[in-house]
């Protein structure tokens, strides 16, 4: 076996066998197909396997459309789930020689060995061997046969491709192409401790280049473990995508930072935007809600690291009677539940977890949250509605429907849908000239007075 490339982490002298990595990666693919998130699945992977399995799982899920199409050519009948997952994992990793993490023959040999060593696949290890050997013999022909299949070509479900073609006719190909590439690591500098330039120089001294994005962001040229970031444990910096860094300054633009504004972060976990609000407005009283008690603990941990304080409560933002004290808010941040279609670069399992009806169902939830929270806003107050989705049903369409029903709502200058790879437009705050950000939607609404 040749040495693994840099994106597959190994440990000299104690590298786990590739067959074990492939077994665990195939289990992650199978779990995703059965509706389990990759994040949850990776938590069950033994610690010594986890770095390699994460790298291989990301690659396998990014190429699962092509792999599934190839498997359909190699086997007319769908194999049992564990067998199909291992076969498709091997095909995903080796169909494109230029991107293969190991030599093709090594991947094939180890996939067959993985099948033989696992009870769920042992009986069909010969079948897996036959399919993969045929693939090696007929590689070019089989790949050409799958080139015209949209799901194979773009490695997203067909319905997803069609929806992007409808929603973003100018940018759909760019969205799908960028979804296949790893996202950059972007930091938010806590300007209570450092200017962005000063922190950038600390990184340069470590040999890490970074470019400024927005008013507080630094995009790294290479990712670093957070414990290596200067001052991370003391709250000097946080990891947050450039698109997410827009929320706090957009909501609070022009508001006096010395006043004790009452702010609601309605769907706050894991607390990145809560922390950003308090960094900019340390006198504010922030109520951070999340429906999940365990996710509220993440908010507490983030705030503790930043040495900031907010009222954190496990509650459903859509039912204010259960938690609201009757005093209106000056500002509300509603980062609403969505399909997460804008963050597939970071979570390649999302495309395979979602179903065509999810956007419509989530749009109903988003509309219900807007309806429930709007009465809690003081006249003249602001509500920032955002989602990490690129689907218009969860962005423009939701907001336009809300505006039609609420004549006291005024839409301020807002970026709307932020498209990965495109420098933002319509931002009344400092923007990100690199255009390297997740897909997001923003609409800033003000409640008319009188």
Find out whether the peptide bond into 414 is cis, omega within 30 degrees of 0: no
Residue 421: burial class (beta carbons within 10 Å; 0-12, 13-18, 19+): middle
- Let me know the angle formed at the C-alpha of 154 by 152 and 160, rounded to the nearest 5 degrees: 105
What the block records as the tokens of 263 is: 């702010």
- 131 has catalytic annotation: no
CB 99 within 8 A of CB 167: no
Residues in the chain: 450
Residue 313: burial class (beta carbons within 10 Å; 0-12, 13-18, 19+): middle
Place of tokens 């996710």: 295
Phi, psi of 399 (to 5 degrees): -70, -40
| DSSP per-residue letters across 394-435 | GTHHHHHHHHHH-TTEEEPS--EEEPTTS---S-SS---TT-
CB 387 within 8 A of CB 395: yes
In the three-class reduction of DSSP (H, G, I as helix; E, B as strand; rest coil), residue 186 is classed as strand
Among 131, 267, 338, 388, the active-site one is 388
Annotated catalytic residues are: 388
């Amino acid at each position: 076996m040749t040495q693994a490339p840099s994106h597959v982490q190994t440990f000299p002298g104690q590298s786990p066998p590739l067959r074990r990595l492939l077994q665990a990666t195939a289990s992650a693919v199978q779990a995703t197909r059965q509706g389990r998130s990759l994040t949850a699945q990776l938590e069950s992977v033994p610690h010594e396997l986890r770095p390699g399995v994460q790298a291989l799982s990301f690659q396998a899920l990014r190429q699962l459309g092509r792999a599934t199409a190839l498997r359909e050519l190699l086997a007319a009948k769908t194999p049992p789930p564990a067998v199909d997952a291992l076969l498709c994992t091997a095909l995903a990793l080796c169909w494109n020689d230029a991107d293969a993490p190991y030599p093709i023959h090594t991947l094939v040999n180890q996939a067959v060995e993985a099948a033989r060593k696992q009870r769920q696949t042992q009986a069909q290890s010969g079948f897996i061997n036959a399919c993969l050997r045929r693939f090696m013999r007929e590689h070019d022909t089989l790949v050409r046969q799958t080139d015209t299949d949209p799901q194979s070509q773009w490695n997203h479900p067909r319905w997803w491709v069609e929806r992007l073609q409808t929603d973003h006719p100018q940018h759909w190909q760019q969205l799908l192409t960028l979804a296949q590439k790893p996202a950059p690591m972007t930091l938010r500098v806590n300007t209570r401790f450092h200017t962005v330039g000063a922190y950038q120089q600390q990184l340069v001294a470590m040999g890490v280049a970074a470019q400024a994005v927005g008013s507080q962001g630094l995009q790294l040229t290479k990712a670093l473990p957070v414990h290596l970031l200067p001052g991370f444990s003391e709250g000097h910096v946080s990891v947050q995508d450039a698109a997410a860094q827009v929320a706090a300054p957009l909501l609070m633009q022009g508001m006096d930072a010395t006043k004790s504004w009452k702010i609601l972060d309605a769907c706050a976990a894991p607390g990145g935007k809560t922390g950003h609000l308090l960094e900019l407005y340390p006198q504010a009283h922030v109520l951070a809600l999340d429906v999940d008690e365990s996710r509220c603990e993440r908010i507490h941990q983030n705030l503790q690291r930043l040495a900031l304080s907010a009222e954190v409560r496990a509650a459903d933002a859509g039912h204010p009677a259960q938690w609201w004290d009757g005093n209106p808010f000056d500002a509300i941040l509603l980062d609403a539940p969505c399909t997460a279609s804008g963050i597939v670069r970071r979570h390649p399992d999302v495309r395979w977890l979602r179903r065509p009806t999810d956007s419509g169902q989530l749009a109903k939830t988003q509309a219900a949250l807007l309806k429930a929270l709007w009465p809690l806003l003081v006249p003249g107050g602001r509500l920032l509605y955002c989602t990490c989705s690129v689907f218009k049903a969860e962005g423009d369409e939701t907001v336009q429907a809300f505006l039609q029903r609420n004549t006291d709502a005024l839409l301020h200058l807002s970026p709307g849908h932020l498209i990965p790879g495109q420098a933002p437009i319509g931002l009344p705050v400092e923007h990100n000239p690199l255009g390297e950000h997740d897909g997001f939607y923003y609409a800033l609404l003000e409640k008319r007075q009188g």
